[in-house]
Amino acid sequence: MSLVCAISNEVPEHPCVSPVSNQVFERRLIEKYIAENGADPMNGQPLSEEQLIDIKVSHPIRPKAPSATSIPAILKSLQDEWDAVMLHSFTLRQQLQTTRQELSHALYQHDAACRVIARLTKEVTAAREALATLKPQAGLIVPQAIPASQPAAVGAGGEPMDINDQVGMTADIIQKLQDKATVLTTERKKVWMGFTVPVSQESSLWTSVPQTPTKFSQVSPQHHLHCPFSIHLSTFAFNCHFPLCLMPSGGADKNVVVFDRKEEQIVATLKGHTKKVTSVIFHPSQSLVFSASPDSTIRVWSVSGSNCVQVVRAHDAAVTGLSLHATGDYLLSSSEDQYWAFSDIQTGRVLTKVTDEAAGCALTCAQFHPDGLIFGTGTADSQIKIWDLKERTNVANFPGHSGPITAIAFSENGYYLATGAQDSSLKLWDLRKLKNFKTISLENNYEVKSLVFDQSGTYLAVGGSDIRVYICKQWSEVLNFTDHSGLVTGVAFGEHAQFLSSAGMDRSLKFYSL
């Protein structure tokens, strides 16, 4: 007599008896039932696994069902099994297709959500930056704009006021920058499409180099300046108010000196900085000189009045570079505090102040592109960064130098950028292709302190251990002057490259012409 499980109605492999109902069960099935219900399945009385009594029997042989004893019955059973498998497979395929569609839809939704989040994050960041530039400093009230007719912000006792409010880049300012760039670009295209040497300038560098470079030499006695350290020379200023050839320079004696080339004498000595003067530039149409110093200030001087009219405190560390915008109304400055600042020279206020937080490195120099919408900065970690002024973003980086950048200069054609560093080399960059197309290796320990293109973009002058002039496109050296007994810290071309001027650590200002 065979034992049959009361639950499955089949011969159990491990039979056991419940003392509560005296029924035989397959141990595996009754244990699961007890685990879920805790009672006997037959009468519902409480039952535990410990109460089950195993039955020792010989291994049972399960009898086959009577319906599977003939061949037709076996074939029928196989057919039914095959049909069941196929139906199950079809059901699985349908479920797989539905799951794929749901997954694809979920992925598209996730991608769209990520795009929306990125856009909103960008808008929030831009709004925060705009708010930060418009928000006045804590405890300060943003004063009303000073009219252009009142360029001097003077406090009690005639001393200039320190203005350091950051008022932001307004839509009017951005439109003004864009309009000026459009005009300059149009004029530059006209000039460069059919550029010819002016007839009245036959004695200029254009006609003398490279045919007769030996005729270009020092033409007037050297003029001794104030202090033999870090003298920087600006480009010359010609205008109806000041028809003379004026040029400012600054030195370690903390003073700015304005020299008249025509009269060959110093016309103004400007005092006010508490540390050496490192950068000096001249306004092309107003009697203003801008100077920077490690005392973290930028001073605006009146040449006619020989006094300081404004002090701009845009930085918290030494100011390392200055550049005047093509409009003549705005000033770019760089500093060791890792920031560059854009200031209004009429009001003396800082419009915006930006740093590259990812780089975290001091800025060593700064220069506007001729169009004024972009500018370049050099860093102490040998990087040249190109910035978009309107968006205040870093749009390109030029790696390649192996030392701190000491000088940068944009060509007047708007295409070339020249850079010098403490690795004794010059690099030329194509702004259209954003790549270095020429590297000029100088002698070991050659120090590059100043770079400047002439107004035609034909020549590049280099000041440092000596003075060198290169002709563009060929990039070959056509002139070399070693008259200075010290390091040359500034070079500049005269109008139409009629002459070249230089200042150096030997406290002298020199002129070179035919």
Pairing of strands 307-312, 162-163: parallel
- For residues 109 and 20, membership in a common domain is answered with no
pTM (2 d.p.): 0.62
- For residues 476 and 374, membership in a common domain is answered with yes
Tokens 């959500």 correspond to what residue? 113
Q: Is residue 78 part of a domain?
A: no
Q: Is residue 44 part of a domain?
A: yes
Residues with Cβ < 8 Å from 466, sequence gap 6 or more? 480, 481, 482, 484, 488
- For residues 37 and 125, membership in a common domain is answered with no
- For residues 98 and 217, membership in a common domain is answered with no
- Residue 497: CATH number of its domain: 2.130.10.10
Q: Is residue 85 part of a domain?
A: no
Q: How far is residue 5's CA from residue 7's CA, in Å, rounded to a whole number?
A: 5
Q: How far is residue 384's CA from residue 398's CA, in Å, rounded to a whole number?
A: 5
- For residues 52 and 179, membership in a common domain is answered with no
Cβ–Cβ under 8 Å, residues 341 and 315: yes
Q: Is residue 144 part of a domain?
A: no
Q: How far is residue 3's CA from residue 13's CA, in Å, rounded to a whole number?
A: 10
Portion of the chain with pLDDT greater than 70, in percent: 80
Of 249, 260, 256, residue with least CA distance to 275: 256
- For residues 27 and 114, membership in a common domain is answered with no
Range with lowest mean pLDDT among 135-139, 184-188, 416-420, 486-490? 135-139
**Domain housing 497:** 171-191+202-513
Q: Is residue 102 part of a domain?
A: yes
Where on the phi/psi map is residue 336: left (φ > 0), alpha (ψ -120 to 50), or beta? Answer: alpha
Total structural domains in the chain? Answer: 3
Q: Is residue 442 part of a domain?
A: yes
| Residue positions counted in the chain | 514
Q: Which amino acid type is present at position 87? A: L
| 210, 418, 428, 440 from 437: Cα distances, Å | 22, 11, 6, 10
Cβ–Cβ under 8 Å, residues 470 and 457: no
- For residues 239 and 300, membership in a common domain is answered with yes
- For residues 325 and 261, membership in a common domain is answered with yes
For residue range 413-457, list pLDDT tens digits in order.
888 899 999 888 899 999 888 889 889 988 878 889 899 998 888
For residue range 367-396, list pLDDT tens digits in order.
999 988 899 999 989 899 999 998 889 899
- For residues 461 and 504, membership in a common domain is answered with yes
Of 319, 336, 332, 337, residue with least CA distance to 368: 332
pLDDT of 40 over the 50 cut: yes
Backbone φ and ψ of 452, nearest 5°: -155, 135
